[in-house]
Amino acid sequence: MQFVKPVNYAWHAAVRDITGLGERSAYGLPDESGVLLVNVPAASPAAIAGLQKDDVIIACNGEVVRTVKDLLASRDQAAGNKITLSIIRKQKALAAALDNYAYAVTEYQKTPDFKQIPLAPAAAALPAKALTVPPGSSNDALAMLTDGQLTRDAGHAFGDGLTKGAYKMDLGAVQAIGQINTFSGGNNHIRARQNFVLYGSAAATDPGWNVQDASQFTPIIDLVARETDEFDCAATSIRQSAGKPLGRYRWLVWAVTPVTYDGGSNTSFAEVQVLPASAP
């Protein structure tokens, strides 16, 4: 099981699971399940698709959506292709569609010899001007995350029980970003799991750590990669439909959440790479 994130997101909109008979009745749902849109920012992918606050998503591409976890899995399964949603709005059934959104590709291996998401040559990645953690957090081994190497049993992890870990990368200037690849692993499969929300900011100066400040940060993607029971290493690649840019950002923040309830173990991150968008 995993710790609960402070906020879950789908297509930049804040979302949460439907709970209880009261919400089933209030929203006119067939059962006590679905994903409620709590806030839908203007110009977000969710808003462009016509989604509104208090809509409830009950299916994605024909598959029943009972929880946020189901919705994120369906998003990634669609892999950038068109997504059709079944929603309930004011107790009426409607449909919505998205064809331009961020999604995650995930690869698991016993060793950090990734095939689908290989470590890019250092020259192909955007250089990080700085990579930092919140004040009071351990920065031991932090430099390993941008050294262009993958080592199975070495990485950076926040202490057990720490629920507000985060990494902030400064690219030095606003950049058009094509992919963001995150590698993890360790001496057991649990710390290879990944559970984070990735935020971006185009601020001219350091935007701080309050990632829920919508004036400073955009939630690029909510990501969960947990199928590591037989593998010690994981890689995730965040991409946009049709190979389009993920956006233009200077700052990126991986807001991480522990991957177990028992002790609150955190991911052991081995490397993060930001690849530039292809020239038009």
Q: How confident is the model at residue 187, as a pLDDT?
A: 64
**pLDDT at 141 (0 to 100):** 78
Q: In angstroms, rounded to a whole number, what is the distance separating the alpha carbons of residues 103 and 107?
A: 14
Closest CA to 109 of 235, 270, 255, 248: 235
Q: Does domain 8-98 have CATH number 2.30.42.10?
A: yes
Q: For each of the chain's 280 residues, which pLDDT tens digit applies?
A: 445 688 999 999 999 999 999 999 999 999 999 999 999 999 999 999 999 999 999 999 999 999 999 999 999 999 999 999 999 999 999 999 999 999 999 999 999 999 999 999 989 999 999 999 998 887 777 889 999 999 877 789 898 888 889 999 999 999 999 999 999 987 678 889 999 999 999 999 999 999 999 999 999 999 999 876 788 899 999 999 999 999 999 999 999 998 887 768 899 999 999 999 986 6
| Statement: 102-276 belongs to CATH 2.60.120.260 | yes
Asked if 55 contacts 37 with a C-beta cutoff of 8 angstroms, the reply is yes
Q: How far apart are CA 118 and CA 149, in angstroms?
A: 11
47's tokens: 């808003």
Please state the domain extents for the chain: 8-98, 102-276
Distance CA 158, CA 169 (A): 16
| Burial label, 199 (beta-carbon count in 10 A; 0-12, 13-18, 19+) | buried
pLDDT at 229: 73
pLDDT of residue 279: 66
| Measured distance CA(210)–CA(223) in Å, rounded | 19
The pTM of the full predicted model, rounded to 2 decimals, is: 0.95
